[in-house]
Chain A
Amino acid sequence: MGKGLLIVRSNLRRTKGQTAAIIVLVLLASCMLNLWLMLAMDYKQNFERYHDKLNAEHVTLAITGQDEEMREYIARTLEEDPRTLEYRMDDCMEMVGTLEYNGGDVNTDFVIMEKETALTRSIGRAELVEERGPDSGVYIPMLYAGIQEELEEEKLKIALGSGEAEYELCGFTNSVMAGSHNCYMALLALTPDQYEALKGRGIAPEATLVSVRLRDKAESAEYEAMLKNVLASRYPSAHMRSNSYEMVITSRYISQMICSGIVSAMAFFVLLIALVVIASNIINYIQENMQKLGALKAVGYTSGQLIGALLLQFLGIALTAALLGAGLSYCLFPALNAMMISQTGIPYGLRFLPLPFLGTLAVIGGAVALAVWLSARRVRKIDPIAALRQGVLTHSFRRNFVPLDKSAVPLQLALALKTTLSVVKQNVTVCITVMTLSLVVVFAGLMTENMIVDMTPFIQLIVGETADSCIDVNAESEEEFLSMMEADGGVEKVYLFHTADVGHVGGKSLMAMVSEDFTQVNNQAMCFRGRFPKYDNEVALGAKYAGERELEIGDEITLTADGREAVYLITGYTQFSNNLGEDCMLTREGYERMGRLRHVGYYINMAEGQDVEEFNVRVSEALGAEINAAINIEAVLSGSTGVYVSMMKIIVAAILVLSVVVIAFVLYLLVRSLLNTKKRDYGILKAMGYTSGQLILQTALSFMPVMILSLTAGLAVCAVIINPLTALFLQGIGIVECTFRIPVRFIVLAGMGLAAFAFGVLCLLSLKVRRIAPRTLLVQE
């Protein structure tokens, strides 16, 4: 071991720059690896911890009405189901509403409770996360914690149905089952005075909040479907909003899933690059130090000792860097957490996590040890005598690439090409690095074009249907509403696009989009395979749900609503993330085979220049209490999707910066290694009369063919696979086929920019050529 340490010390002293570069690469890889493992192994588990701490329910359901008969019926239903462990019912109010958030509006179903009731319920209680001071007002979910910056000193305005309420913001609550950006339920905890005042105004109907804990949480979705179906049959005029454990945990952790996926991909890419660099370093080291290694063998060192010294050297470097990287991840985690908490809404307390830490060290250590062992094995083949006589050839004599007497290529380029074609390892490293970088560039381009610059493709894919305004009106006033729309010159198009609940018999509760004519909907891409339903016995089914249940186009399914069942033929697959892929589309006639629409949601396209807010106020005033909701869709979208856009901006910036750092370090190592290998050749060429500038150009040019080819191939391939790959990331939220626009111009410009950047960096890194003096070459032997 002592001898090995001597070799390690000597090697480290000679390769300070390379060691530093490897440390940076491994540090980045281990930092991201630890972040990923922390996200994967603990972040989502945080939900479970809070779920247990708050004795949260597995199914939560708010139903309008508080009469004893209904509660007794609900209690009987729950008690008769063997899956029920315990349950609780409390008074609340329930109403669809809107609040201003994140520069837009958030439209959701508000479950309004008296503060003490919310905080002391034995099942599904909320906890106070932050109190701001006022004695009278409202506590809102932590999900909307960012709102306090927007409010400043103002009161919080909440539109509830056709009315509006204003409150002082008292603080934030954490209620694990009530509230996420995708499950449309949010808890408002009012101080007793405000609760009574709102109750007195009558703008939010009184309701019952049912919280059920199950014996097996895996059955939450089916249980929710059963409960809704049973209650809908018995109380068809009651309005219901429900959540299942499965739906809430998935929807709260979409950002964790996306971040986790991106961070893990980047971690493994950087680790792969670090391993390639380490392997290439060792191979070069063996080639360059053949005589020294031969001498060491001649004086008695065994191959095992020499390999052991390399293992010791690189494992030492890698594990030191991994420790630093894991430490760095703890510094970066709060920023990542702050970004994701706006989506999860669950507080997360950072603490030391031994398992991810050990996992990071194990992965880095194992991978580096394997790479070192695989590349150092050739030490065993070194024969001391042959090595000492410099008898080990480093040139394969396969071909004289780009012969100068036959080729018409300019001299500098010809010599650069000779280098290119003779350094396979360098080419492989460049190729892997550039391919990785291509994926990053294409992904960044895709997100920039489809999300950051123009949100339309993202919204169309994720949100589904959009228009200017959405008015929900009681069915009794539908004709009056439509006449009013016909008479309104500012209305361009009005069509039914109503959201209702249906159950799949033997399956889950589904969100149904109901329209009279799907040719009218703005986003025809919602049905991406097959076609929209045309007739009353047809349904288009969410692709993710269909995939889970192995339902094909042409199959029949039985749906249920208001206690009645009907069979439908599947005509197509739909995709959007509103209900995480658990949705379907039905014609109005189709839906009415099962239930009756007691209120209807109409989407409205306004004529150019019309003010949507003004229009909504006009309609609300005209129809008064007949209007359940008047939503400015654009404002709602900018509020809810703003969270994703902000997150994506940070991710795009981070991965681009990281990529630039990685490529710069990889090129640094490759250039250094190439200059070491070609020191003698460059000395000879300088003696012949080549200037430093010419040799710098040759060095930089020698990387460019593989760089350009890899970039071209990488960008082309990534442009083709990026949509399927993104769909994989978004699978969890119901997207199975991505249809994002491929940013061709961005990709071409980025490719050219990258090539130019790489050439510039290569020229800078090659400046070391100036230090090679022909005389040094002549006196060194």
Chain B
Amino acid sequence: MKEILLRTENLSKSFSSGGILQHVLKNIDLELYDGDFTVIMGASGAGKSTLLYALSGMDTPTLGTVTFCGTCAGEAGSHGASRRDAASRVVSSGDAGSHGASCRDAASRVVPSGDTSSRGSAPHGRIISDLTPDQLAVFRRSFCGFVFQQIYLIDGMSVMDNVLAAGLLVNKDRKALVNRARELFQAVGILEETQRKFPTQISGGEAQRVGIVRGLINSPRILFADEPTGALNSKSGLEVLDTLTRFNRSGQSVVMVTHDMRSARRGNRILYLKDGAILGECLLGKYEHGDEERHDKLSSFLEQMGW
């Protein structure tokens, strides 16, 4: 049985615009599992991105709770090992020696006072929807990685610095971190020369792969990807999807929002969102290139959902 990483209960999110209250997410109960490549699909305006941000601690829900049930490396033996394995398998040699210690510190900071005893107790977890903005920031840096449609690299920093600016928040061992960044860059096909360039000097595909490296630099428990191929051409989009798939195969949990069927096919679990509620779920199994049966199953599911 897979371990639960995130659990939501009655998750609701409303926005007020011009005095009109708009309910974007409605009482969502959801569990996300370790090692899954979860894809959230739905039509435009269905609340996909809102759900992603609520799950990742980027935003707080209006009602309901989001509970993080995972631990960081070193906290629970099997988890730590599996995450390290994930990184190692992709980048050939991982380095999370000092990272574990930082994560523990970060974890203790995000846990509300009096709740430290729950560390590592996956079944209960820690409620992140009640955290302050700064506690959420610490939670994000410790447990989450992000890949955005608009990529959001900082223009004034080199590619390498964009990655290290995220990594140095958690890992103080600069040398080890630089080595890990280089290995991740190598794994996603970013040349050393490109690492010294500024974001506006590289292609969209390269920039998004840099975004993935930045998302993974802190060995997050979950990598959140919001339409990662939305701003890319098909070739670059494919490269990015291949990269995400490779990392997922090696154990990295991924939650991706997309409205593109080609992207959705990479997931092993598809959630369909409509009018702020989960309408249906489709389990596909691990992605294999050229798996026509998988394609048909997904098409039929989406057709059923009215896509």
Contact = CB atoms under 8 A, between A and B. Distances in A.
B272 interface: no
Interface stretch (B2-10, B63-71, B115-123, B144-152): B144-152
Interface in B127-159: 133-134, 137-142, 144, 146, 148, 150, 152-158
A422 B160 CA distance: 18
Contacts of B141: 688-690
Contact of A418 (B140, B157, B168): B157
Given A689-B138, A689-B169, A403 B161 contact: yes
Contact of B226 (A688, A691, A778): A778
Interface stretch (B35-43, B195-203, B244-252): B195-203
B297 interface: no
Contacts of B138: 689, 691
Given A397-B198, A405-B160, A692 B133 contact: yes
Contacts of A770: 133
Contacts of B101: none
B73 to A, nearest CB: 16
B58 interface: yes
B160 A688 contact: no
A397 B201 contact: yes
Interface stretch (A273-281, A556-564, A678-686): A678-686
Interface string A383-424: 000000000011101001001110010010001001000100
Interface in A746-781: 770, 773-775, 777-779, 781
A688 B156 contact: no
Given A411-B169, A688-B165, A690-B137, A405 B200 contact: no
B238 interface: no
Contacts, number: 96
A408 to B, nearest CB: 8
Given A688-B146, A689-B169, A403 B58 contact: no
Interface string A276-309: 0000000000000000000000000000000000
A693 B135 CA distance: 11
B95 interface: no
A775 B58 contact: yes
Given A400-B196, A692-B134, A395 B155 contact: yes
A689 B142 contact: yes
A681 B53 contact: no
Contacts of B154: 681, 684-685
Contact of A681 (B144, B156, B196): B156
Contacts of A397: 198, 200-201
Interface string B52-81: 010000110000000000000000000000
B59 A422 contact: no
Contact of B160 (A404, A684, A775, A781): A404
Contacts of A422: 156
Given A397-B198, A405-B161, A681-B156, A690 B49 contact: no
B187 interface: no
A688 B58 contact: no
A778 B166 contact: no
A687 interface: yes
B148 A778 contact: yes
- Among A397, A404, A680, A779, chain B packs the most CB atoms within 10 A around the CB of A404
Contacts of B255: none
Contacts of B49: 778-779
A777 B157 contact: no
B164 interface: yes
A228 B165 CA distance: 84
Interface residues of A, number: 34
A773 B181 CA distance: 27
Contacts of A400: 157-158, 161, 196, 198
Contact of A778 (B53, B153, B170): B53
B284 interface: no
B262 interface: no
- Among A683, A685, A774, A775, chain B packs the most CB atoms within 10 A around the CB of A774
A777 B161 contact: no
Given A405-B178, A681-B156, A688 B169 contact: yes
Given A403-B160, A692-B134, A395 B198 contact: yes
A773 B60 CA distance: 11
Contacts of A683: 152
Interface residues of B, number: 40
B168 to A, nearest CB: 4
Contact of A689 (B53, B140, B153): B140
A777 B152 contact: yes
Contacts of A686: 137
Contacts of A681: 154-156
B166 A689 contact: yes
B174 interface: yes
Nearest to A422: B156
Given A693-B134, A770-B133, A777-B152, A688 B161 contact: no
A779 B52 CA distance: 12
A382 B178 CA distance: 40
B127 to A, nearest CB: 19
Contacts of A680: 152
A404 B239 CA distance: 28
B274 interface: no
B152 A684 contact: yes
A394 B156 CA distance: 9
B214 interface: yes
A397 B146 CA distance: 26
A748 to B, nearest CB: 35
Interface in B265-282: none
Given A681-B156, A688-B166, A404 B161 contact: yes
A672 B136 CA distance: 25
A581 B170 CA distance: 71
A422 B155 CA distance: 11
A686 B138 CA distance: 10
Given A395-B200, A688-B140, A689-B138, A418 B160 contact: no
A778 B198 contact: no
A691 to B, nearest CB: 4
- Among A397, A685, A691, chain B packs the most CB atoms within 10 A around the CB of A691
A689 B201 CA distance: 26
A325 B176 CA distance: 60
B148 A689 contact: no
Contacts of B169: 411, 688-690
Interface string A355-396: 000000000000000000000000000000000000001110
Nearest to B160: A405
A395 B156 contact: yes
Contact of B165 (A393, A415, A773): A415
Contact of A691 (B137, B150, B174, B198): B137
Interface string B167-205: 011100010001001000000000000001010110000
Given A395-B156, A403-B161, A689-B142, 6 more contacts: A405-B164, A411-B169, A683-B152, A688-B140, A773-B133, A778-B49
25 contacts: A394-B155, A395-B155, A400-B158, A400-B198, A403-B160, A405-B161, A405-B164, A405-B174, A683-B152, A684-B153, A685-B154, A687-B146, A687-B152, A688-B146, A688-B169, A689-B138, A690-B141, A692-B133, A692-B134, A773-B59, A775-B53, A778-B49, A778-B53, A778-B58, A781-B150
